[in-house]
Structure 1
Amino acid sequence: MSRINYDAMSDAELKQYFLKHRGDRTAFEAYLDRLNRRPRRIIASLSDPDFDDKVQAAIRQKLEASGNSSAQQSNTLRFPTD
């Protein structure tokens, strides 16, 4: 059996490979390692008075950037306010 080179795969290819081969623990670990290497963007702190607005704006941006047809649904997203 030939060894799979996960490093040679693009992010999308690795994700698709893992989704088709869910029992491949090494592929899963390679996928998680790749995700964890990405820089994390802090949208807002919990004490930020505009927390809800910033989170909703970030969700809308993500939906629009992905070209997902569910971008229309982002207008109906509501988060509980306490």
Structure 2
Amino acid sequence: MSDQELRQYFLKHRNDQAALSAYLERRNQVKRPIITTVDDPDFEDKIQSAILQQLNQ
């Protein structure tokens, strides 16, 4: 089951503790890139771009 399929399953079966555990474990294994730093002059643009990328996936 893909991460997206597991997420969809969990959203439909919110009382399934095993599904929640599996979903959270997978989420914690994924390394997230550092998008920007607080003192970056392009902070807002980089954050907005990252949000749009996530929405389009």
Same fold, TM exceeding 0.5? yes
- Higher relative contact order, chain-length normalized (CA < 8 Å, sep 6+): 2
TM range (shorter): 0.7 to 0.9
Identity %: 58
Please, what TM-score do these two structures have when normalized by structure 1?
0.60
1:1-82 mapped onto 2 (5 Å cutoff)? 9-63=1-55, 65-66=56-57
RMSD, aligned CA: 1.4
Query: In 1, Cα distance between the equivalents of 2:54 and 2:16?
Result: 29
Structure 1 runs (4+) greater than 2 angstroms displaced: 60-63
Aligned length: 57
- Give the unaligned 5+ runs of structure 2: none
